[in-house]
Amino acid sequence: MTARFARLGLAVLVAASLALVGGCSLIPTVQGSTSLSSADTGVTEDLLLGLTRYPVADRVSAPTISGTTLDGSLLDLASLRGKVVVLNAWASWCEPCKTELPVLVAEARAADAAHPSLVEFVGLDVNDTESGAAARMVDRFDVPYPSIVDDGAKLLARIPVVPPEAIPSTVVIDRQGRVAARVIGEVKPGM
């Protein structure tokens, strides 16, 4: 990996979606977490981080995700085909979401600075019922990417690899519009 792409951190790590070879085994990783790999499926999971990577042959199409963003504009993820999309489901009332947001903001800025045509970050604001709470959180953390409003978690429920109402969760969609990876739970620095 070149130094230019190394700066993309999370986005390139999960977008690459590298599968481990061999039978089903527990493999310690550098951070001391545990990975589960299966030659049968090619799916690789880091059990402690909640990270699952899908090999190209096993990727499912991402569902149609479109709607109104917090700033009132319309966004359809299909319009981002050709880019890697990092879709993060969050809510202003979710404490782990607040903890992971600076990590996601830093990764989004790094991706944009290193290669703006490669990766697009999008938020999915799930079940924020307090008027203005989501917008205040976006302002507070200076989030540089749009968030689609998802009242009732209907859009989140469409994503086949994410349990219903799993907040926070992050899905990486490859350039062909297929789910390459997911993180269930908080995104950690250095993932």
pTM of the model: 0.78
Question: 49 — phi, psi (to 5°)?
Answer: -90, -15
HEC string for 141-162: CCCCCCEEEEHHHHHHHCCCCC
pLDDT tens digits for 71-117?
Answer: 999 999 999 999 999 999 999 999 999 999 999 999 999 999 998 88
User: Please, are residues 178 and 61 in contact by the beta-carbon 8 Å criterion?
Assistant: yes
Where does the pLDDT of residue 42 fall: very low under 50, low under 70, confident under 90, or very high at 90 and above? Answer: low
Rounded average pLDDT over 128-141: 93
pLDDT at 45: 57
DSSP secondary structure code for residue 21 in this structure? P
